[in-house]
Amino acid sequence: MSSPGSETLRVRLSDDVVRVRQKARALAIEAGLSLVDQTKIVTAASELARNMIDYGGGGSVTLDIIASSTRRGVRAVFEDKGPGIANIEQALKDGYTTGSGLGLGLGGAKRLSSEFSIQSKPGEGTKITITRWK
Amino acid sequence: MDRIPILKLGDALLVTIQVDMHDRMATALEEDLTTRIVSARAKGVLIDISALEIVDSFIGRMLDNIAGVSRVLDAETVVVGMRPAVAITLVELGLSLTGVKTALNVERGMELIKRRRAEEANEQPGE
């Protein structure tokens, strides 16, 4: 599903989160997203990239510009091979965390995205896809 | 390691965040500020985030922590210069920064701190 312009970044350390934000911003500008929409997708990407480090043992992010017949947008796919999420519904609730964070990451990222999907299997890892349309 | 400079401005400390902070930098800032509040006997902390393109929950938590610690040390934190797109995104993210005072810019933030100092001076002796 990735286009020629797609880029996959490895996320292991907190410096990598900065790189994910920069790439997401560049693509959001290229896709013609408004400033508010750029800010939303970059913030969502930042939350999810950090989640991967804190809970998934790191992973990868693939960022892409996508186009339908009528509109363009930015898509980011986050994949880790961490412990997975046993109860996705619970993990999406604000304030729920198994770590030291605020527990806003998943639910917040979902609200900031036009589309959000999550697949996770305990023991195998987690894959989250977010899209922000223009 | 890069550190964010802290300037003294009257009774207050001014921090201007100009770069996309990575986590260690944020943690170092919290520690540096706490030390400086005490050594400079600061009554206020102004954090200028007008250059920040996003505030995620990590940065938000850092701002909350700084505000909490400075309150315990009798200094007030005011976050100034938040961009409109950042404000919209923060609210949607679910971060309300309840413990943090905000102002439009450094001047107004400074006024807020001065006003609070004046109020305190008024209600001081014998209640």
pLDDT exceeds 80 at position A96: no
CA B78: distance to chain centroid? 4
| pLDDT number for residue B19 | 82
Q: Is residue B11 part of a domain?
A: yes
Q: Is residue B1 part of a domain?
A: no
Report the number of distinct structural domains present in chain B.
1
| pLDDT number for residue B22 | 79
In the sheet that holds A115-121, the strands lie side by side as A7-11, A59-67, A72-80, A125-133, A115-121
Domains in chain A: boundaries: 7-133
Segments forming the whole domain that contains residue B11 = 6-122
| pLDDT number for residue A134 | 92
pLDDT for B52-108, tens place per residue? 999 998 899 899 999 999 999 999 999 999 999 999 999 999 988 888 999 999 999
Tell me if chain A has a CB within 8 Å of the CB of B50: no
ipTM over 0.95: no
| pLDDT number for residue A100 | 63
Residue A36 distance to chain B (closest CA, Å) = 5
CA B47: distance to chain centroid? 4
Q: Which CATH class is domain A7-133?
A: alpha beta
| pLDDT number for residue B90 | 93
**Range in A81-85, A89-93, B47-51 with the lowest mean pLDDT:** A89-93
Stated pTM of the model: 0.90
Q: What is the mean pLDDT of residues B11-36?
A: 90
Query: Inter-chain contact B54–A46, Cβ cutoff 8 Å?
Result: yes
Query: Inter-chain contact B93–A108, Cβ cutoff 8 Å?
Result: yes
| pLDDT number for residue B71 | 93
Residue B22 distance to chain A (closest CA, Å) = 6
- The pLDDT confidence band at residue B125, using thresholds 50, 70 and 90, is low
- The pLDDT confidence band at residue A103, using thresholds 50, 70 and 90, is low
Query: Inter-chain contact B93–A15, Cβ cutoff 8 Å?
Result: no
| Spatial CB neighbours of B119, under 8 Å, sequence gap ≥ 6 | none
Tell me if chain A has a CB within 8 Å of the CB of B85: yes
Any idea what the CATH number is for the domain that residue B86 is in? 3.30.750.24
Query: Inter-chain contact B93–A111, Cβ cutoff 8 Å?
Result: yes
| pLDDT number for residue A86 | 87
pLDDT for A35-78, tens place per residue? 999 999 999 999 999 999 998 999 999 999 999 889 999 999 99
Neighboring chain A residues of B56 at a CB cutoff of 8 Å: 43, 46-47, 50
Q: Is residue B65 part of a domain?
A: yes
Neighboring chain A residues of B54 at a CB cutoff of 8 Å: 21, 39, 42-43, 46
| Spatial CB neighbours of B48, under 8 Å, sequence gap ≥ 6 | B14, B15, B16, B17, B80, B81, B106
